[in-house]
Chain A
Amino acid sequence: MLRVTWIQHRASLLIMIAIFGLVAAFMIATGLSVHGEYAKYLSNKCSYFGTFSFNQSECPNLGTSLLHSLNNLTIVDIFMHVVPILIAMFIGAPLVAREVESGTYQFAWTQGTPRSSWLTMKLLFLGVIVVVLAIPLGLIASWYAQPVDAIGFASHWQPGQFGVTAVTLPALCLTGLLAGVLIGVLLKKIVSAIATAGLVVGSLVVGIFAYLDNAIFSIHTTATAWYPSDGNIGVVNRFAPVGIGPKGSWGGWLVNIWYEGQNGVHLSTAKGVQILGRIFASYPKTQQVEPPQYVSTWLANHHYSFWISYQPANRYWMTQSFEAAIVLGVGFVLLKVTMKVIRRFV
């Protein structure tokens, strides 16, 4: 059965393997250069922020070289997010639609095996291949981005990277496959199913990128009092891996900031901006006072406090697993719907 299933789907699987291979080869080739620059950066004890000195003579040049070598990170992220869409289009959508178009469903579904079992066998075979391909691709993507995360230019929590690890990428690919199959079952035409699968799974990926990541990060955060800097969460997040922010947040992901007034009353964003303006306006220009100390004192004197909430670093894999579980849950629902539709098919 494996051999026959392979023969039936080898064309689309070979296309997928070729695409996966190209993406992996591109990441490895460019990633070796990134890691080479990173090794030089580390050997010179360079760091833009944190405990190492920034003033090593070679550091600015090395930092620039490292940044240049990371130019392909965006391309890699885009490639990786397209992978589940391609799986939906090339493997999922035609799975049943091709049977209907060619009429072979009349052979396959009138044998001794019920059609739900027939579909389960196929999905198991294809699903295992998809997962086996996606796991190393996710590992390579994480390896590629590791220097950029380590020096604090980006974070492995940020949506572009969070969805393409060895945990989340296989889940996305599997759900992409299942979404493609359902669309193929509903539309029954290969070309329209492939096009629709691309659009639907593309929207799913964008939805995860834009909403799901942040929604998951907002669950069960850790909150701590801190002092405002420039108020930009994204910037704070970038610096978190190298020790900017409260100690517990290092390597984590800052989710929210807010001001509280007397008795812990949560203040509006507009009020927060107003407070920050007052702090800056009152800052003594001649006095040598460290900004954090001055800001903290000012807030305490005026009965305000500044808070941040974040996901601690040690929750990264748990959060990864949670997102993967949600995506797989969507896939499971799609599978159940497919099974229901296929029983009453044609």
Chain B
Amino acid sequence: MNVIEVANLGKQYGKRWSLRNASFSIDAGRVAAIVGPNGAGKTTLLKIVVGLIDPSEGSATVMGGIKAGSDNALDKVAFVAQDAPLYRYLKVSDTIALAKNLNRSFDVMVTTQRLGKLGIGLDHRVGKLSGGQQSQLALALALGRHPSLLILDEPLARLDPLARREFMSVVMAEVANEGLSVVLSSHVVAELERVADYLVVVNAGHIQVASDIDVLLQSHCLATGPADEAGAISQTFSVVGSSITGRQARLLVQASELGLLGRNWECSSVTLEEIILAYLENPDDEPLVLDSLVENVAAKVQL
């Protein structure tokens, strides 16, 4: 089952397209990371998926075909927005009561226990909590709903490294124990590599990459070889990034059979961050969707 499926999705504000021709799907049980620079369209994409905004074109469904934002979808999808906006003047206990009233089922006990472990008192006003505690509260409220899909928009942005680790450990425990599917957007690529198994790169309003992270890592390498053969390589393989120093060329290559590069070329592994940065530097590249190594034979799928 696809927890998210978008097809030709677009959102226009005035004459400007914030997102266009977005098509991809994410399987259940995944922890999917959505990355991209500021203004790339990540938040627009997530807001469409949670039903906060309507798309200008295309369609978005969640949990196996339920229209995004519909009453059914709201029951199954929890969302923690950027900066975790909560009612600052409410006490934590009142915020929990509000969440209980706004949901058909809400686990007050689990939420309270989770907050207790984090040292967040129920009598505290939300506005008096630190940024990290507010994020933890927003996460606890989302998890208290026992959603099937948890969507987090830049959840790590205002957390210090320790708080990031704590935050993500709570999320990953829920993934392990409850089979929760998670989609999170973030700038912190290093953190994502540790937790995510699926990657969506959004750049300039377009989906540039949508792939299983393992597949992505295995299908890319940093090829080093003679500069005069670089042209031939780029005609045969998809070169995501390149740099030429004297007689040596370094190409970030995406290919189904990296062994076919040739004897003069040496292929070394690359990090996820290097791949992401290479794609982000080339926003005009065709979209890349790699769903498995088997499908990788086809390599590129026109969206």
Contacts and interface: CB of A to CB of B under 8 A. Distances in A.
Nearest to A10: B89
A345 B47 CA distance: 11
B127 to A, nearest CB: 11
Interface in B249-273: none
B277 interface: no
Interface in A1-57: 1, 3-4, 7-8
Interface in A55-109: 102-109
Given A112-B102, A113-B102, 11 more contacts: A3-B97, A104-B87, A105-B52, A106-B52, A107-B87, A109-B52, A111-B102, A111-B103, A112-B145, A114-B74, A118-B102
Given A4-B90, A7-B89, A107 B81 contact: yes
Nearest to B138: A107
A7 B141 CA distance: 19
Contact of B74 (A7, A105, A107, A112): A112
Describe A's contact surface by its main secondary structure: loop
B97 A4 contact: yes
B36 interface: no
A113 B81 contact: no
Describe B's contact surface by its main secondary structure: loop
In order of increasing CB-CB distance, the 5 nearest A-B pairs are A103-B85, A111-B102, A106-B81, A112-B103, A1-B101
Contacts, number: 73
A220 interface: no
B189 interface: no
Contacts of A114: 71, 74
B128 to A, nearest CB: 15
Given A104-B86, A111-B102, A346 B81 contact: no
Contacts of B78: 110
How many chain B residues sit at the interface, stated as a range, is 20 to 34
B77 A3 contact: no
Contacts of A285: none
B104 interface: yes
A7 B94 contact: yes
B104 A4 contact: no
A346 B18 CA distance: 13
Contacts of A103: 81, 83, 85
Nearest to B51: A110
A302 interface: no
B90 A7 contact: yes
6 contacts: A104-B87, A105-B52, A107-B86, A107-B138, A109-B52, A114-B71
Contact of A110 (B54, B74, B98, B101): B74
B53 interface: yes
A8 B90 contact: yes
Contacts of A106: 47, 52, 79, 81, 85
Given A104-B85, A110-B78, A114-B71, A4 B50 contact: no
A247 interface: no
A204 B51 CA distance: 35
Nearest to A121: B101
B99 interface: yes
A280 to B, nearest CB: 70
B75 interface: yes
Interface in A311-327: none
Contacts of B94: 3-4, 7
